A and B are shown apart, each in its own frame.
Chain A
Amino acid sequence: MQSVPDPIIVEILSYLPISEIIRAESICKKIKSCVEKHSYVLYSRVLSRFSQESISYSHWKNVIKQMNSPSKELQFLPYYTNGGTYYGSNTYYIHNLVLEGYYCYCTVYPTNILVKYALLGTDYDTDRIRARQYISSGVNEGNDRIYFEKEILRESQEFTSQASIYAVIKQIYARAPQGGYTCPIFHFMCFSSIEEDADLGIIDRFNGVSTIDKAKEISDQLGLEYEEVSANSIRQLVFNNCNLPMQPLCWAEMSEDYNQSALNLPLKSKKLARYFYGLLIDGRRTNNYDNNIDISLLLPKGSIIHF
């Protein structure tokens, strides 16, 4: 290693994931010195995604530490749905998607429902979220196709941009209702973006995609890279990072098995995000009368980065 010139060491390290570059620093002084001298080059591919031009080496190390901290639920709050709310009731409101409990988000419409979430960045305050449920119940959005809670969005945007906060999404957690609901979630997809105005066109392409083969076909047409994984004994897709502002995260199928109503899907690559999107493709109909979608939880897990 001592005989390898510094520029070559930097080039070798540039092929490693960031966490392994940090690990490599501990091998010997020569590598550590190379990383310190050329940290901007080594980390540029990540820095550009944070819209950061340059940060100090020690600050960067702290960011890396945050990126690799253990996964926990991320503070994303749903603020939009085009699927309506069953009976217009706050009992079935979209905020249930991030709250543990018996109640679900129950839609009015049966397919291709887009739910948008914004990163709040503070620790979960479930009372505050529940309080919002009551505020929102004052708005009869059940029969409206589009509901948009501007206040939550504005608040989260002010907070995340002032504090320069990003989420690093590492896994997706979803749960179907375990009983008492007639149309449990069957297929869904997740996406993320850093900007709020990311093009939703890519999401629309997956409307109605209820088989893994069809999901692969559309992904191939769009040039998306993905991997097939197994979760709950069902084939699922997780997507690699792509160059689009709107990043697909996963395509998933929920199990019919009552004991496998929860799905924990680790992603192959970490995704930076301030916005999270759930495309609820369809539900599993259990009778001939109800035709909508019921879902208990849909949320990303990962870590938060403060610049």
Chain B
Amino acid sequence: MFYNFNKIEEVKIRLRSAEGHICEVEESAALMSSFIRSMIEGFNEVTEVSLPNINSVVIEKVIEYMRHYKDKDPPIIKKPIISSKMEENTSAWDAGFIDADWNMVVDLMTAADYLMMIPLRDLCCAKMACKFKGRSIDELRAEYHIENEFPSEMEENLEFQHPWRLE
């Protein structure tokens, strides 16, 4: 009798988001998260993990990353980054995956930190570093709505000590 092993249904892990939505992911992919791995290994037959501080949009994004790297190692991003363009620091897939706005990257990074997914956290950190690289202080303050908290004397002192900081 022919038996198609590919048709064996893989165990699915249900991830419950902050809004209570359920997102399903294959167990082999979910094991990329050390947090989920410890839940599965610590409590037999766990099939649902509650993630009360991660919304469903971010969970779906995390799952996309888990599935892509289920069977291979993510590329390592070298420090320091060589360019403000992610595609010059890592693979094209990673660069496309992390091409998101600041809030999404922050949420993804927080989720990666919580889920203990170091490669994803590193990817987010590198992406945020790209947003800093080669930009002036004034540009960064304007983009992220950061007020100048330094008194003018301190600004002058910083400029005197490190004139190249504004280069």
Seen from chain A, the residues whose Cβ lies within 8 Å of a Cβ on chain B are 1, 3-5, 8, 11-20, 22-29, 45, 61, 64-65, 68
Contacts and interface: CB of A to CB of B under 8 A. Distances in A.
Interface of B: 77, 79-81, 106, 109-110, 113, 121-122, 125-126, 128-129, 132-134, 137, 140-141, 144, 146-147, 149-150, 155, 158, 161-162, 164-166
A45 B79 contact: yes
A305 to B, nearest CB: 15
Contact of B162 (A5, A29, A68): A68
Main secondary structure of the interface of B (DSSP, over half): helix
A157 B121 CA distance: 45
29 contacts: A1-B144, A4-B106, A8-B110, A11-B122, A11-B125, A12-B125, A12-B128, A12-B132, A13-B129, A14-B79, A14-B125, A15-B77, A15-B81, A15-B126, A16-B80, A16-B133, A17-B80, A18-B80, A19-B165, A20-B132, A23-B162, A26-B137, A26-B155, A27-B137, A27-B141, A29-B149, A45-B79, A65-B162, A68-B162
Nearest to B136: A23
Nearest to A225: B78
Contacts of B162: 22-23, 61, 64-65, 68
Given A22-B165, A65-B161, A12 B146 contact: no
Given A15-B125, A19-B165, A65-B162, 6 more contacts: A4-B106, A8-B110, A8-B113, A13-B129, A19-B164, A26-B158
A12 B161 contact: no
Contacts of A16: 80-81, 129, 132-133
Nearest to B122: A11
B165 A23 contact: yes
A226 to B, nearest CB: 13
Nearest to B165: A23
A3 B53 CA distance: 14
A19 B121 CA distance: 23
Nearest to A28: B146
Nearest to A45: B79
Contacts of B149: 28-29
A8 B164 CA distance: 26
The 4 closest A-B pairs by CB, nearest first: A15-B129, A23-B165, A17-B80, A11-B125
A5 B126 CA distance: 16
A108 B117 CA distance: 61
A68 B150 CA distance: 23
Contact of B165 (A3, A11, A26): A26
Contacts of B147: 28
Nearest to B103: A3
Nearest to A64: B162
B23 to A, nearest CB: 24
A65 B162 CA distance: 6
Which of A8, A15, A26, A61 is packed against the most chain B CB atoms within 10 Å? Answer: A15
B146 to A, nearest CB: 5
